[in-house]
Structures are given as structure tokens and as C-alpha cells.
Structure 1
Amino acid sequence: MEQNLTVRPIAGRDELDLFNRIPYGINDELADDLDAGRRKPEWMWVALLGDRLLARAAWWAQSGDDAPFLLDILDIDDTADTADTADGRVDVGENLLRTALAQVVPDGATPPEYIRMIPSDWRDDPTTRRGVEDRMRVVERTGATLFVERLRFGWRPGAPVPDPTGRLVFRPVRDTEEILSLMTAVLDGTLDAHSRDDLTRMSARDAAVRHFEDELAHYRTPREWWRVATLPDGDPVGFVTPARNDYNPIIGYLAVLPRHRGNGYIDDILGEGTRVLHAQDVPRIRAATDLGNIPMANAFLRAGYVNFERSINMTWH
């Protein structure tokens, strides 16, 4: 099959229909992403047999950035008339990804993380599982390994809005230095895989700054929404950053300081973040945590959030 395979970036917005022939939940966001500069045609690659789309890959960036931040689309057409075997499908995907990586990622640089949204029950359906595992094999063949599986949660209007318990007092974050200090402190004993990985290569303060600059600094909503939770005497207990990113209202960061863990304060803090967003009449709230962060996952479930999806995160080293 690969003898006549054409691997190239799309020519421009006019080829979005071609790129979107393989269905995926974020296809309808790609036009806006191109307009906003979060994607570029040269970051959106296709593998074609004649005019038949066999595979595709695309990278995403924060608005205004010149370098891609994530590889978030990698798909293989696995219908019977385009590939005879699983190995054939994976071969096509590998050809596409290797060719695209050589052009998109500067020579010698580490490729951006690969993230794929998948159904929450993906292991239970043979067809879905095959698709997930085929994509993972493609990425593995180019040198990446599984980093973490994450749970994605959603809250919709009509779900419970927790009432304040009165145990904690909430106030806005005073300034950037305060949120950075709190983010630094909560890294002690963190269960978050990305944070734990950062701590193997940098100080807690540097890890907090990196997280802030990569994510929180890009939120489109007022920082007055962010909340510090304190005891009645003013002693900080934790914080939450309800916000809106480029796509959804979110619970961006939620944490309890080490000395206050084990007291159930996570429920109070998540409740406040949910109330802040609910007061903005949002159509939904999204949140996520690592599969292994059981206390955080259980807090979302108790607060009426539904685990509607998962993500697979893979990294190159």
C-alpha cells in the first residue's frame, strides 16, 4: 500500500473537508483553531492513497505561539477496503507521523506530548480498543511511551450545586505571587503525574511557574474568579481556579495544602469552584485528573460530575 502513498500537509483551509473525513469529536473546532492561530496548515498532515484519506495528524498551540504545544490528532482509517491488516494500518500511521515529525519539530528537539481523548469505557468495546491501541502503537514506534491515562469529567446545569458548609472561607487570589506560592506548596506529595515528572527535573517553584505560564496565564476569564480557601482564622487551606479556556468553562487547578489534607476540604473547595462558574450561567463545566488520583476523582463524582471520557497521554524523551 505504501508504494503509492502521498504524505503531506494540507494546502490550507480549503482542504479541511478532506482532513475531516475521519470523524473525531473536535473536528468542528478546527476551523476556529485555524482562524485563531492555534493550528497552522503546515501542522496538519494527511496520508493519501489517490484521493482516499488513510491517516491524519495535527498539532495544536496556545493562541499566539509559534511552536506546537500538543499532538492531539492522530487517526487511521481502519475500514476494510483501506488496510488489510492491523500492521498495515499501523505502518501507514507510522509513515505519516515520522514524515510529519521531521518537518514540524525542529531537529534535535523533543516532540510535544501526544494526547488523545477516548471513551471512558474504551477497553470494553473491541473496535474502540483496537483503534486506541493502533494509535498507541504508531506513537510507540516513533519513540514515545505511555505517560499517563486521565479521567475527564463534566458537570451540566441541573446537576447539584453544592451549598457552602461553612467550614472554610473563600476569597479571591490577591496576585500572581500568591497563586505561585500556593502552587509551589501543593506540589509536596502531589499525585499528579505531570507535576511529579517536573519535580524530577526542576525545583517546585520552577514547576509551579511553568504550569502557570503554560496553562493558567492563558485563561480568558477574570482572575477574580479564582479562590483561596482559608480557615476562619485566615490560614490558607487550598485553592481553585475556575476559568474558561479556549473551548470550555473549566475547573483548571484544584488543590489542598499538605498540612490540611485528609479532612475532606477538597469537597468544599470544588464546591466553591462549581458555584463560581454556575453563577456565570455556563452551559457546562469540564475538569480532569489522573487515573491514579483517586481522591480527586472521587471528589468530582461526589460533586455531581460525570466521567464522560478519558485521555491517553504519551511522551517522547
Structure 2
Amino acid sequence: MKFRSIAAADFARIPHRTVPFDWATAVQYDERRTAGQYRPQWTWLAEDGDRVLARAMWWGFGDGEHPLALDYLYVHHSVADPATLVGDLLNAAHETFLAEGAPELPAYHLKLPLNWRADPASVAAVDWRRTAAARAGLSEDNERLRYEWTPADGLPEPPARLDFRPEPDDDVMLSVFRRLTEGSLDTETRRGVTAVGVDAHARADFEFYRDQMPGPREWWRLAYTAGGDLVGLALPSRNASNAVVGYLGVLPEHRGHGYIHDLLAHITRHHAELGASRVVADTDLVNQPMAAAFTRGRYRNIEMRLVFSAPH
């Protein structure tokens, strides 16, 4: 068995989907390849002679040096033990990514329909993918919900009780990121704080949104009451394809008063005023207050994701 990244001549050999998820169309692949988000060195094959038995495709920002997420996996129906084969394929690619300077193993983002557990074939497909990811060091999993807002859903009311102000001082913003980690229900935040501490995790989040996300730093706002008390942070942003909610949070001393709805309304209206045709957002399945806020804020739950990542 040979594991390798693809060459230009291999583009026509990218296999088609075998389950109703975990795939990209030829058009999507070409668009993202043109944008530098899919690259030959980030697309790997498992070959037996001239047969492609498995394929893994990683995604990254068009101007990024390293892949950020494993997007898609495929295995040929003739493979008796897909978890072992794909685990070995991922390990081969991971070894190369780390040797080339990647700071960590890219997580595997498995996008799924909301009803996937009702389909035995989908359950089986998820099971071997979970095992393969764990074999390749991605042993932690987190279930996340994706939400979508479009203009047809209607705008939320303006958040009249809060004043949203720009804050150009990075140190001030970083201090807010630190405070928002306290009591967070976000799984990655809790894992990160446990692994590296509040300061390091808050800085990593701050630098990710400032330096890697395409949304400009100038969009960030701190929210204050009429009396001047700092309530929280509203951080609209963008990813490579869409406007996104980004990051929002209420400081611990102000939680329980519904301010999360004001922050979300500000972000939604911000994107709408700029002409966004779609705003997407994600939250953990266990973060029910945030999920409820999205529903109240006129967002629709359109899919879920299983995220498999390496332990911190």
C-alpha cells in the first residue's frame, strides 16, 4: 500500500461520494483548489497498484501555510477494514504536515445531516471514521450544531439597551477574552483552559480571530450598559465563504439577563447592513443557552458536525 499526496495528473482520479455526506463535488473542489484552500500537497491517496482505495482532503486558508482541517474522507467499498486503512493514511499525512512545520494536527470536521443517526448506513460510516481519526491521534470528539441566517428570516430588533463601542487597544480586548473563559460552556474553551491555562488559551483565541479570520479587526465591539458597565464582546467576522457570527460572550457578572440576545442581534444586523446574503454560526450541542439564543435570534439549525481533534 502506498500513501502519497496527489499530483496534477491525479485530479481526475478524485473519487465520487459513497455516502450522503463527507464529500465535495468536482465544482466545489475546483473552486477551492483555485482559491488555494485545497492543494495537491493537502490531498492524499492510498493506492494499491493503480487503484485508489482511500482519499483524504484537507482545507486551509488561501494564504495559509498549513492545512487547518480535514474536510473529507473516502474509502472504496471493497476495503474490508476502512478504519485501519484510513488511519494509516492520516498518520502518513500527519507526519508530513508536522515535518513541514504545522503547529498541530488539523482537526477532522465531519459535516452531517441532522437525522444521520436514523440511517444505519450513516451510523456505520461515522463509526469507522471515528475509529480512523482516533488511530491517527484525533481522539477527542465534540458535537457541534451549525446555524444559518438569511434576510428571508427577518432582522432581529436593534439591541437598544446596550452601547456598542470599538476598542482598538489589543490589550484591552485580550483582557475581555480572558474574562470570558470563566464558566464558559464551550468545549474547546474548557479543554484549552485545562491544558494551557487561561492566559495562553485566551491569547490563542484572540490571535486566531485577529490574524487568521478574514473579518477585519475594526468590526469588533465591546458592549456597555447605559451606566457604562462593560457587559461583553460582539465579534462579527468572516470565513473563506460566508459572514459568520464569530465570537460573542457575556462577562460572568452580567450573565442571566439576556444580554446574549443583544450581542447576537448586533452581529446579525452588522452583517445585514453590509449586504450579507447568509450568516452562519456554530455552537456545541452541550451549550444549550447559545443554541436557544440562535433559535430566538431567527437562525435555523441546518446541520451538525462531529469534530475530532488531538488532545491539547
What TM-score comes out, normalization by structure 1 length? 0.87
User: 1:31 corresponds to which letter in structure 2?
Assistant: D
Measure how far apart 1:20 and its partner are. Answer: 5.1
1:294 aligns to 2:264 (yes or no)? no
Query: What value does the CA root-mean-square deviation take over the aligned residues?
Result: 2.5
User: Is 2:210–2:217's contact at 8 Å kept on the other side of the alignment?
Assistant: no
Q: Which letter does structure 2 place at the counterpart of 1:256? A: V
What residue is the counterpart of 2:63 in the other structure?
A: 64
SS of residue in 2 equivalent to 1:166: coil
Tell me: CA distance 1:174–1:70, structure 2 relative to 1, closer, same or farther (3 Å).
same
Give the Cα separation in 2 of the matches to 1:35 and 1:195.
Answer: 33
The CA deviation at 1:292 is 0.7
Q: Is residue 95 of structure 2 the alignment partner of residue 95 of structure 1?
A: no
Matched, 1:11 2:4: no
Q: Separation in 2 of the partners of 1:261 and 1:118?
A: 32
- Whole-angstrom distance in 2 between the partners of 1:176 and 1:224: 11
Unaligned runs of 5+ in 1: none
Measured in 2, the distance between the counterparts of 1:31 and 1:208 equals: 36
Matches within 5 A, 1:1-317: 5-12=1-8, 14-19=9-14, 21-22=16-17, 24=22, 26-27=24-25, 28-49=27-48, 52-78=51-77, 82-83=78-79, 85=80, 88-106=81-99, 111-317=105-311
CA distance in 1, matches of 2:4, 2:45: 6
CA distance in 1, matches of 2:119, 2:281: 24
Q: Quick one: structure 1 residues 215 and 130, their matched pair in 2 at CA, closer, same or farther if it must change by over 3 Å?
A: farther
- State the SS of the aligned residue for 2:236: strand
Per-residue Cα deviation, 1:208-260 (whole angstroms, up to 9, x for no partner): 21112223422333333322221012211112111222111100001111110
Of stretches 96-105 and 306-315 in structure 1, the one that deviates more from structure 2 is: 96-105
Deviates more, 1:189-198 or 1:223-232: 223-232
For residues 207 and 63 of structure 1, the distance between their equivalents in structure 2, rounded to whole angstroms, comes to 25
1:218/1:245 contact within 8 Å kept: no
Q: Offset at 1:127? A: 1.7
Aligned pair count reads: 306
Cα separation, partners in 2 of 1:20 and 1:182, compared to 1, 3 Å: farther
Return closer, same or farther for 1:128/1:216 CA change in 2, 3 Å cut-off: farther
Q: CA deviation at 1:52?
A: 4.6
Shift in Å, 1:71: 2.5
Q: Distance in 1 between matches of 2:13 and 2:123?
A: 25
Indicate the SS of the match to 1:300: helix
Looking at structure 2, the residues matched to 188 and 33 of structure 1 have their Cα atoms a distance apart, in angstroms, of 37
With structure 2 as the length reference, what TM-score do the two structures score? Answer: 0.88
User: Residue by residue, what CA displacement relative to the aligned partner does 1:88-111 show, whole Å, maximum 9, x if unpaired?
Assistant: 233332332233333333299852
Maintained 8 Å contact 2:16/2:23: no
Distance 2:281 2:304 in 1: 11
Cα deviation, residue 309, structure 1: 1.2
Secondary structure at 1:200 match in 2:
helix
Q: Hey, what's the Cα distance between the residues in 1 that align with 2:151 and 2:55?
A: 35
In structure 1, distance between residues paired with 2:270 and 2:100: 45
Deviations 1:45-65 (A, max 9, x none): 112455554321122333433
Give per-residue Cα distances to partners, 1:13-61, cap 9 Å, x unaligned: x433322533745444443444444443122111245555432112233
Structure 2, gaps ≥5 residues long:
none
2-side partners of 1:228 and 1:204: how far apart? 20
Secondary structure of 1:308's counterpart equals strand
